[in-house]
């Protein structure tokens, strides 16, 4: 029997995005790994190489955690080029479609409000820098203090 060209090593935990086929082969017990010939190990490495997700750059990579009193939630927003297969394996129906529609609508409203707030703030700062007084004697900071 041929001795495999891959030699197992002791590896500590590696972050998920940095894992290679060798990392997973190192998880196989040495006596099982030694029973593979080099052709089998190469085939396993090729399959693992295809199965491990490739990193793709994201335009937006927003990851937040929200700590509440009893539990912890996370929110992830990723925007980037679509690299998955064209069609889903199952059609989106019923409550999933409604949930997607509600989530997309809320996201668009939130983005719209955020952009509007930044535009308003920018225009207010320009107005203040130019010394334009739209309402005599009253300023936004005064109104906010009353509120």
Is 52 part of any domain? no
Range of the domain at 119: 90-140
Q: 64 - beta bridge partners?
A: 75
**CA pair distance 58, 133, nearest whole angstrom:** 43
Tell me how many domains the chain contains.
1
**CA pair distance 47, 37, nearest whole angstrom:** 16
Is 136 part of any domain? yes
Is 110 part of any domain? yes
Structure tokens at 63: 């990851």
Is 130 part of any domain? yes
- Flag whether pLDDT at 3 surpasses 80: no
How do residues 16-26 score in pLDDT, each as one tens digit? Answer: 777 888 888 88
How do residues 78-132 score in pLDDT, each as one tens digit? Answer: 888 877 666 767 777 888 889 989 999 999 999 999 999 999 999 988 988 888 8
Coil, strand or helix at 27? coil
pLDDT at 72: 92
Is 6 part of any domain? no
Find out whether 90 and 99 touch, Cβ atoms under 8 Å: no
Q: 61 - beta bridge partners?
A: 78
Is 54 part of any domain? no
Is 97 part of any domain? yes
How do residues 38-83 score in pLDDT, each as one tens digit? Answer: 999 999 999 998 888 777 788 888 899 989 888 999 988 888 887 7
Is 31 part of any domain? no
């Amino acid at each position: 029997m041929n001795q495999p060209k891959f030699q197992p090593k002791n590896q500590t935990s590696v972050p998920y995005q940095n894992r290679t086929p060798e990392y997973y082969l190192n998880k196989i017990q040495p006596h099982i790994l030694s029973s593979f010939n080099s052709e089998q190990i190469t085939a396993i490495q090729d399959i693992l190489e295809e199965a491990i997700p490739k990193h793709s750059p994201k335009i937006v990579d927003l990851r937040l955690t929200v700590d509440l009193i009893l539990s912890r939630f996370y929110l992830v927003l990723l925007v980037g080029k679509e690299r998955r297969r064209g069609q889903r394996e199952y059609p989106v129906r019923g409550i999933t479609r409604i949930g997607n529609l509600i989530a997309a609508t809320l996201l668009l409203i939130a983005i719209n409000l955020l952009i509007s707030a930044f535009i308003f703030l920018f225009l207010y700062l320009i107005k203040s820098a130019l010394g334009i007084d739209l309402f005599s004697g009253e300023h936004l900071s005064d109104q906010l203090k009353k509120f």
